[in-house]
Amino acid sequence: MLTVVRLCAPLLLLLLLSVHADIVDRFQDVPDCLKYFYKQKVPGWGSATPDAAHLCQRFVNRYHFATLYDTRHRIAVYSAYVFQPSNGGGREKRWFVEPQLVNASWQAEMKDGYWLGKDHPGVYLGEKQALNEDYTHSGFDRGHLNPNGHHAVPSRNATFTLTNVVPQNPKFNQNAWRIHESDLTNLFLQKCSRAYVLVGAIPSADNWIVKNNVKRVNIPDYLWNAYCCVDNNDRPVQSGAARARNTEDNMVQKVSVDQLEDFLQQFSNQPVGELFYNSCRV
């Protein structure tokens, strides 16, 4: 029996490490991360993104949402989450980064970028992700994809990771998009037992935040989101989507999930397929 235990221990350790890893090969491999997708269906959208990282966003030792992160453009392809009624709590003053995007052996939980730098002096943290200083004096907001207002603490705090952020036009972020997120809050509270949400960005061809003559963070052309609202039996009751140009036009166009899937197809060489199981058809 002791021999069997010794042989199984390395395998058990490997399994435990894989369960708690923040960066995973596939969302499907981590049940606690997969739960942010309706019927556990991960969309095909973005799957062909070169060097994309699958992040199970971990904070205070548990997962809060999932992000497909484009390490070349240093913005998220999308974040997936389940809406939570807010329980108050202020905005984070910290901005987190993903340690494992710097070194796979580092901690699996997001950490304040300032203190991670202090822990590893001389190590550059920004090769595969945006840093807080990239946004400083850039003229762009640190625009949440997964909004903090759609969560209770501590999930609310976890949204303040730069892997959940894109450069957003300030006028658009603080007006039309903010109002759209607020309208969704009211809808989810009134109509849904549970709401599954995807929020993403479409990168521009060549528009970047540039620091020291280096293209650091891509400025997306479009933002989009989609939701699937279900009842107590996990059956769809309502769905919807929206898209918007990331400009001072400051307009959000509401569309159906099917229409959004058709829109996204313009930016993909592969079939986009369904964003939600059965496209969340009622």
Domains, the chain, in order of start with CATH, read 22-280 (3.40.570.10)
Of the two residues 271 and 20, the one the predictor is more confident about is: 271
| 43-71 mean pLDDT | 96
Per-residue pLDDT at 16: 39
pLDDT category of residue 13 using cuts at 50, 70 and 90:
very low
Distance between CA atoms of 89 and 83, rounded to whole angstroms? Answer: 16
Query: Residue 220: is the preceding peptide bond cis (ω within 30°)?
Result: no
Indicate whether 4 pLDDT > 80. no
pLDDT in tens, 161-199: 999 999 999 999 999 999 999 999 999 999 999 999 999
Indicate whether 245 pLDDT > 50. yes
Largest CA distance in the chain: 70
Of the two residues 8 and 95, the one the predictor is more confident about is: 95
Per-residue pLDDT at 19: 37
Q: What is the share, in percent, of the chain residues with pLDDT greater than 70? A: 92
pLDDT category of residue 6 using cuts at 50, 70 and 90:
very low
Distance between CA atoms of 216 and 70, rounded to whole angstroms? Answer: 12
| 143-148 mean pLDDT | 97
Indicate whether 140 pLDDT > 60. yes
* Residues ≥6 apart with Cβ < 8 Å to 16: none
CA 178 → CA 89, 148, 172, 226, distances in Å?
Answer: 18, 11, 8, 15
Distance between CA atoms of 178 and 184, rounded to whole angstroms? Answer: 10
CA 160 → CA 57, 157, 165, distances in Å?
Answer: 11, 6, 8
Indicate whether 218 pLDDT > 60. yes
Residue 197 φ then ψ, to 5°: -130, 140
Residues 246 and 221 sit within 8 Å (Cβ to Cβ): yes
Per-residue pLDDT at 9: 44
Q: Kindly calculate the radius of gyration of the chain based on its CA atoms and give it in whole angstroms.
A: 19
CA angle 73, 39, 156 (to 5 degrees): 55
